[in-house]
Amino acid sequence: MVEKCNKSWYTVCMHSFWRKATGLSLGLVGLSSLAAISTFTLTANNLAGLRGVEIRPFGDFSIDPGEKLMLTAEGDYVTYSMPLRGNWKITRGEDLGYFVEQQCDSAKTCTFQADNQGGDVTITVEASGHSNEAVIHIRRPEPAKIVENPFADSLPTWAGEPIVELRERGIIYGYDDGRYGPGDLLTRGQLITIFHRALVKMNLIAPRNDCATVYNDVPGGHYAYDAACVFRRNYWTDSLSSLGPNDPVTRGETASLINRVIGSALLDANNLRLGKVIADGPYFSDVPLSHQYFGDTAVTKATGIMTGNPDNTFDAGKTLNRAEAATIFWRIIKEVQERGVRGL
């Protein structure tokens, strides 16, 4: 019910109104003060509950020459952890790299840039009276193996050995005009064909071509028919009516297929647990935890199959080229041989 004022008691009514308004204002001030005190108390409790600080990498502490590694200072508050501002320093190995940011004082994250030589770099962070030390291992660069190029076009130095070795194994071939086309974009049909040949050569699967119908766009006699048969039978590719063998395949799709086919076997061979690999992420600055290919790129990174770019990106949406494909499957073959993988 709304209270009304008449002329006879208007003044009294207004006094009552202002008393109520003043009381409301004081109440709001009191609530604001309480909120401020609560916020201060929570912050103080957080600091009081800080047990230590840890340097967490986006990925792992082993990187390649020229690669970047983002580091985060995480505070341990008993029941949870959260990023914490800290002062960062390179205490050993200053000649092997530097911080990308001009100032890493009072920063939650700091990015280390490795130079083009190998060695160990010690990083220290100090925050709220706690400190932590971590060692970044920069792999020593290995000189590219000199190979005899059997193709009419030139091959990139970093991919020469993988391309030549996979050709000798009968896993990849060039074009009819004698070129390999290392920069040419890879298609879905080419990807599963190379993958299928590699698996057969490693005796991880048996060849089979007993499919009545595979995909509408991969008829009998198609170069990718056998691969499409095996991959669909094992649910490695989807069960849609078409494969799209001429569609370009992205790096993210490639990581997803590798993880689906051989990811579990590679993790087991490296004594890695999937849960731990996922928990240690994210590994790339452009593949957050919510990314559709986060799990796939985490597995291929942890097993050394697809390590990303020197700037700590993965480029999941970028189309794979033929030189990259050869390098990826060359790494898979080396992992299988060196780790003794016997089955999928």
pTM equals 0.68
pLDDT at 209: 63
First-residue to last-residue Cα distance in the chain: 76
The pLDDT value given to residue 241: 82
Per CATH, the homologous superfamily of domain 52-138 is: Immunoglobulins (2.60.40.10)
Cα separation of 282 and 81, whole Å? Answer: 16
3-class SS letters over 169-191 = CCCCCCCCCCCCCCCCECEHHHH
Alpha carbon dihedral 14, 18, 24, 27, in 10-degree steps, equals -150
Q: Considering all CA atoms of the chain, what is the largest pairwise distance in Å, rounded to the nearest integer?
A: 110
**What was the pLDDT predicted at 60?**
79
In the chain, what are the domain boundaries? 7-44, 52-138, 157-339
Per-residue pLDDT tens digits for 43-84: 444 555 888 999 988 777 988 888 888 899 999 988 888 888
C-alpha span between 305 and 328 (Å, rounded): 6
Predicted pLDDT at 217: 92
pLDDT of residue 322: 96
**Per-residue pLDDT, 332:** 96
| 139-185 per-position pLDDT tens digit | 887 777 788 999 999 999 989 999 999 999 999 999 999 999 999 99
What is the predicted pLDDT for the residue at 48? 56
Residue 10 confidence (pLDDT): 34
Positions in the chain whose pLDDT score sits under 50: 1-45
